[in-house]
């Protein structure tokens, strides 16, 4: 129980110290409830509401804690813009990364909903940064949703970051998304289908022509291409037959170097996605009984913050170091 109380105290410290303004009034009350949810998720390793409430070390009856959590989940004033994204912006600022590598992924959450998540690849893990939840079954999500999540994340990237690299699987090769990423000055490497049409010198080719006589363990690129019949470009088309792959895969990128594009895309194969890592840690939001996207969004906010707390602050030495080295923490 002492360990649980210690976690509860440190989660409350995290919420207060990492929020950019002083907490007071309704904001403070709602943040206290959010901290309660984060603590229950960490200790109980569950995202079902009764189990969250059961694992909060408060001197309050469990049904009362559960009711308080439910009130937060249905509160329309509890939005990502106020209760989640400021934490993400502060975490990114304190990491101080000159290069940020992002991966986009989707997964089923709750009952009949799907979540699109952009994560930071950091020390072999995918750390959740920005997401969107909608009703739907597993499958491809519309491109405008991909763009929406990218636009949500863009303002949170620190000005000190020199380069952002975006990695996407096959469903994330849309030309509008590519155009948005390029407009933000981001580099991107996205997988694409073998039968996609590319154009070079006004001649059309199927991208898999690049894999002709391609030895295993090698890649081949074609610069200054136009992509699909929309003729978006210039881009670099890449065929890559990795040493541990059964067959070549195909990429579209705004890197000039095919080798560099493959080096970055390989990072996707070395990480646990946020969703699979959450399952291995026990708090699997896919098992939540919620079916409303807005309520699931608020639960996901708590789940993401719980995950970040476990990754960064389970070892309190890092948290203590942040407090000691950032004078602004002491003034909050």
145 occurs within a structural domain: no
Q: What value does the mean pLDDT take over residues 254-266?
A: 97
pLDDT band at residue 2 using 50, 70 and 90 as cut-offs: low
One-character DSSP codes across 209-277: GGGTTPPTTEEEEEEEEEETTTTEEEEEEEEEE-TT-SS-EEEEES-S-HHHHHHHHGGGGGSB-HHHH
Given this model, what pLDDT does residue 258 score? 98
Given this model, what pLDDT does residue 328 score? 42
36 occurs within a structural domain: yes
Given this model, what pLDDT does residue 234 score? 97
Residue where a domain stops, chosen among 248, 266, 284: 266
Higher pLDDT, 100 or 317: 100
pTM recorded for the entire structure: 0.91
Which helix or strand (DSSP H or E) is residue 282 part of?
A: none
Count how many domains the chain has. 2
Given this model, what pLDDT does residue 319 score? 45
Quote the mean pLDDT of the chain. Answer: 90
Same domain? 15 vs 68 = yes
Residue 294 has pLDDT above 60, yes or no: yes
The domain of 254 spans: 176-266
Same domain? 190 vs 260 = yes
Higher pLDDT, 212 or 284: 212
Residue where a domain stops, chosen among 217, 248, 266: 266
Residue 214 has pLDDT above 70, yes or no: yes
pLDDT band at residue 124 using 50, 70 and 90 as cut-offs: confident
Structure tokens at 150: 């990218």
Residue of 92, 47, 81 lying closest to 275 (CA atoms):
47
Same domain? 9 vs 48 = yes
- 223-255 tens-digit pLDDT: 999 999 999 999 999 999 999 899 999 999 999
- 6-65 tens-digit pLDDT: 889 999 999 998 899 999 999 999 999 999 999 999 998 888 899 999 999 988 899 999
216 occurs within a structural domain: yes
Beta partners for residue 44, in sequence order: none
d(CA 39, CA 53): 9
134 occurs within a structural domain: no
208 occurs within a structural domain: yes
- Describe the crossing of helices 2-18 and 85-95 by its angle, rounded to 10 degrees: 90
54 occurs within a structural domain: yes
What are the phi and psi torsion angles at 91 (to 5°)?
Answer: -60, -45
């Amino acid at each position: 129980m002492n360990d649980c109380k210690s976690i509860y105290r440190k989660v409350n410290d995290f919420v207060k110290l990492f929020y950019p303004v002083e907490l007071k009034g309704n904001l403070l009350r709602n943040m206290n409830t959010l901290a309660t949810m984060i603590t229950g998720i960490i200790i109980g390793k569950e995202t079902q509401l009764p189990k969250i409430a059961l694992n909060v070390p408060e001197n309050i009856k469990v049904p009362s804690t559960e009711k308080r959590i439910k009130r937060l989940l249905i509160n329309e004033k509890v939005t990502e813009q106020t209760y989640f994204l400021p934490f993400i912006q502060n975490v990114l600022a304190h990491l101080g990364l000159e290069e940020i590598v992002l991966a986009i992924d989707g997964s089923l959450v709750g009952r009949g909903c799907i979540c699109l998540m952009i994560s930071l690849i950091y020390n072999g893990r995918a750390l959740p940064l920005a997401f969107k939840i909608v009703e739907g079954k597993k499958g491809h999500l519309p491109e405008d949703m991909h763009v929406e999540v990218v636009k949500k994340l863009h303002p949170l990237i620190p000005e000190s970051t020199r380069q952002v690299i975006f990695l996407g699987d096959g469903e994330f090769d849309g030309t509008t998304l590519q155009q948005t990423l390029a407009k933000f000055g981001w580099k991107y490497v996205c997988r694409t289908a073998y039968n996609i049409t590319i154009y070079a010198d006004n001649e059309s080719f199927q991208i898999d022509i690049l894999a002709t006589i391609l030895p295993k363990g090698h890649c081949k690129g074609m610069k200054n291409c136009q992509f699909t019949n929309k003729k978006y470009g210039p881009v670099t088309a890449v065929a890559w037959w990795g040493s541990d792959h059964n067959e070549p895969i195909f990429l579209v990128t705004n890197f000039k170097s095919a080798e560099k594009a493959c080096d970055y895309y390989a990072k996707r194969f070395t990480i646990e996605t946020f969703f699979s890592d959450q399952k291995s840690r026990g708090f699997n939001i896919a098992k939540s009984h919620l079916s409303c996207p807005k309520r699931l969004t608020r639960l996901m906010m708590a789940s993401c913050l719980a995950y970040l707390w476990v990754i960064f602050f389970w070892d309190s030495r890092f948290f203590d170091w942040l407090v000691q080295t950032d004078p602004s923490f002491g003034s909050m």
